[in-house]
Structure 1
Amino acid sequence: MATTAQPRTEETISIGGGTPTRAPRDATDEGQIRIDLAAAYRLIALKGMDDSIFTHISARLPDGPSGSKRFLLNPYGLMFDEVTASNLVTVDETGAIIDDPYGAGVNAAGFTIHSAVHMARHDAACVLHTHTVAGVAISSLQEGLLSLNQWSAQFHGAIAFHDYEGIALNLEERARIVADLGDLNVMLLRSHGTLICGRSVAEAVKLAFNLERSCKAQIAALSTGLTPILLPDDVAAHTAAQYARAYDKTEAAGVDPEWDAMLRQLDRQAPAYAD
């Protein structure tokens, strides 16, 4: 006998929800943070979202014994698919080296943006910056990302903008980046790329993937020359709120089957990330 499918309610919508396949993550466990951050680098590389040895993904570590602020960053000169949990570099809020297992140092200038955000936004456990073709293209448009579909609707009213000032070498720019970002988690760096803040490495990566495909979908839709359909503001805002609740639920639970699935993919394709 045929049965009628039951509609999904707001309570059943999930982004990374469901039954966990790994134990809840300990946000104070440096070993786990290292593995997650190395995984982020490898996943960004697998998605073709890296830019040679440039751009960064940083993660906040628990404070040092004297209360010093500590962050993890990739060794300068390594491709993203060469980053491992053990070769990540520990730096302070200025980008100065605390521990450098690989011995290549870091691109201190590249940490300008990350240090600014980490120091101002203590909820940002991870800051992810990319220069993808799609992200740079959308950041170069006055309109930015449009609410054309479900993917992009999650970012409705939640994207900050920072005007281009040249390559981010000027430490004075940090205050302007922080002011422009405010309390949002996604920023389009005009004519430059994208910036994502996550309460965990997993959240930052998922937001980055969703933003990237939203940018690609917009470019694909507009390239047809046909008339795009903009979602009504109320529908887009409702969808964004649904996504936000789902992300909140996942972060509160501390378990994330979607992230676990990504790690299993890496275990199959690039297991050295955890070394």
Structure 2
Amino acid sequence: MKTYTFLLAIFLLSANVHAQVNTWNGKKCTVVLTYDDAISQHLDNAVPVLDSLGLKATFYVTAYSAAVRDRLNDWKKLASNGHELGNHTLFHPCIGNTPGREWVRPENDLSQYSVARMVNEVRMTNTFLQALDGKTQRTFAFTCGDMKIGDSAFITPLKNDFVAARAVRHELHKINEIDLYNVDCYMVNGESAEQIIAWVKKAMDTQSLLVLLFHGVGGGNSLDVSIPAHRKVLQFLKQNEKDIWVAPMLEVAEHVKTWQSQGSKK
């Protein structure tokens, strides 16, 4: 009886490990690389390294960004090379009536928006992005992590417009724990390559989803990562691709949606 119990325990443990590994296309974890606000340094400093390593990322585009207006063809080329253009609103509104948000311009103060205005601007951005990449499936990223106008979660009337929406919190989640309209991420703000790689290793250890949020890459935003640190992180991901699935947010979100709808039978 003891031998049977022991063998059963080994079988169940093995089955559990197998299921966890197969959760992420046979890899230990998933990493999504996201870049916010449509900054020229993304095109100049991030994309060449991504392309040289064959890694695909998600770029959350604020349509009114100067780098978008001035470099439309570069953003089109980025999409044609397999990167995702995500929706990061038309004007990047944020709640301005809180401490530390003095930089928010009155016309872009989300606290002064109506839900209808936000919905209209977000949908207009989807139309703009479709003109760039021809796609109708898309993901969204909350600006400044702000998710409500007053007491209303403005993503609610937009759920049919997006497969997923990314928030801003330092948390990891296993596939069954992920809320696709509140996907957590780790925001990079001056961390070293070693610190960021430690986040990746934690995701590997816990079979979790890690979404990395970059703003500036070697400049362009006060929330910055150095070019050498950025390159070293991407090289680590490439060197460990047998254990790490790196894909754009849309692809990962569709995988999570399918897995959650089917459960572990997938």
Relative to the length of structure 1, the TM-score reads: 0.29
Instruction: Give the structure-2-normalised TM-score.
Output: 0.30
